[in-house]
Structure 1
């Protein structure tokens, strides 16, 4: 008998249909949903992050939405800690925890035994980098990271100094990038996990992404971003999110409105491609192709059969 806590994980690229399916599965298996999206944690960032609306939840509890202000930073380690607490709390109520989202590293950090604090840390080294940032600016330290670990530099905003310094520190003391360091850690699953991935024909997925952006614009994305812009929220982690950075460029007068929309669609499509590559390369996922609309009930049966076999649970009657 598996004594580990049960966990249902539902992943897939943006716009593939995770939200709708997660609600159906939560109803069927008495589940509660934990958002596995690194941007839906921010208050006031609803339309651009495709956050579920209260009326769409159908009474299913959702966790880790709206827990930070947009000017606050939030790390993978913060996410790992909060989600693991939630999983235990949901289990203790006799419910099934469901982690649903598209941020690969965040989900990976929860389900595998990742130790973020184990890397050697050196206060003197950190302080010297902080001093350099004070004297020469955050960009100077970020450039240092770019030379050592371009992948992390791309992901971490120059003003998120704590994370920039952390990435440099890891490289300095291990000779490895943060990603390489994490890859080498023992990949032991901490939970009894049913890991489900949704995929779709690329053309159809891209069409859905483009349509979703159009709907976001209609729903008031410009006004949402403008509100953050007018509050003076700039150069922070949250505004690097797709759907926000493009419109900030427009509001800064750097690009035209139509170009901002096209950029947003293009960046969303590229992100979906990166998400799929990440999930396929780094996690042991059972994939379900959601291309055919008319076979949704058939897909639901296949997915349910996999969940019940993996987690040894039965559906609500």
Structure 2
């Protein structure tokens, strides 16, 4: 599956050039964007940005989000967070089924071919980089956050998940002596809570302590997962020599509310949009894409699609 040719690093373009470049180029097929990053860094948000600015569809590659249920603990993107961007392979597998990397590759290949056949850009997003091997021409976008900042955010996010009903959500799936090596029960947060649910005979203080220990373990295991994912990305970048565009979102996580949104637009959304524009339309080496040019590029593509009755 997903055999990825290497694309050139981002090049710059002078003002006014992208429209001319796009007008002389038709839609180039066999191109796929891949959004990478550790858990909690904002991969889903990054995938939405180009998906709302170009004709695109999103293919989930998160091992646990492919299963039905546990929407809180697996951090599935909500319908409200999917503004006009079709998503594939979210919550489509039975919780008890062992959905393998081979299963995903087979299913994702069909979806990608279908998306490409509709003259749209497939955007693969998720933390499971083991699903990505090497076929289409790919643009790799890596949203990164410094480890101390990310670990602090992950800890707070787990607390927020608990407040949103994570424990109650997992309890609905609980039964004694469950197999935590198969299906959705492998998700971080499910096995850690295994010792909490049979504690009904304990007093309130003792139960609270067991829960506190389980939540602490969930935080620690999530941080370990983030480290493994980062190591995997570095391995792809350094050993396989994949040309991966790193987008540093650390500053976003150090700000709040409007300032955080502005930092995201400046440091992540806008640069990634320019990268995708250049990737799709093969813009020249000495030009700088502007937002207006990106809009023009998208309009030209839409006109192209309408003209071909796609």
TM-score by length of 1: 0.69
Aligned 1:32-71 pairs, distance under 5 A = 32-71=57-96
State whether residues 46 and 143 of structure 2, in contact with CA within 8 Å, keep that contact through their aligned partners in structure 1: no
Alignment partners' CA distance in 2, 1:66 and 1:233: 21
Question: Does the residue aligned with 2:195 lie in a helix, a strand or coil?
Answer: helix
Match of 1:120 in 2: none
RMSD (CA atoms): 2.3
Runs of 4+ in 1 over 6 A off after TM superposition: none
1:216 and 2:161 aligned: yes
1:65-104 correspondence to structure 2 within 5 Å: 65-104=90-129
**1:310 and 2:308 matched:** no
Secondary structure, counterpart of 1:37 in structure 2: coil
- Per the alignment, do residues 91 and 4 of structure 1 end up closer, same or farther by CA in structure 2, a change over 3 Å counting? closer
Distance in 1 separating the partners of 2:176 and 2:83:
33
Q: CA deviation at 1:60?
A: 1.5
Give 3-state SS (helix, strand or coil) of 1:282's partner. Answer: helix
The answer for the alignment partner of 1:295 in structure 2 is: 263
Number of equivalent positions = 237
* Alignment-derived partner of residue 12 in structure 1: 37
CA distance in 1, matches of 2:28, 2:69: 40
Counterpart of 2:304 in structure 1 is: none
Ranked by relative contact order (alpha carbons within 8 Å, sequence separation 6 or more), the top structure is 2
Query: Aligned residue for 2:195?
Result: 249
Q: Distance in 1 between matches of 2:187 and 2:157?
A: 16
- Distance across 2 between alignment mates of 1:310 and 1:53: 28
Tell me the distance in 2 between the aligned counterparts of 1:248 and 1:200.
31
- Which residue of structure 1 lines up, in the alignment, with residue 222 of structure 2? 268
Distance in structure 2 (CA, Å) of the matches to 1:219 and 1:90: 35
Q: Is the 8 A contact 2:56 2:123 kept in 1?
A: yes
> Is the partner of 1:292 in helix, strand or coil?
helix
Aligned counterparts of 1:61 and 1:24: Cα–Cα separation in 2: 13
Cα displacement string for residues 43-80 of structure 1 (whole angstroms, at most 9, x for unaligned residues): 11211110011111113111101111111111111111
Report matched runs for 1:223-234 at 5 Å: 223-230=168-175, 234=179
The one of 176, 195, 212 equivalent to 1:258 is: 212
TM-score (normalizing by structure 2): 0.71
Counterpart selection for 2:130 from 83, 99, 105? 105
Structure 2 counterpart of 1:277: 231
- Structure 2 unaligned regions, length at least 5: 1-24, 200-206, 253-261, 283-293, 300-310
Cα offset for 1:22?
Answer: 1.5
Please state how far the C-alpha of 1:298 moved relative to its aligned partner. Answer: 2.2
Structure with greater proportional helix content: 1
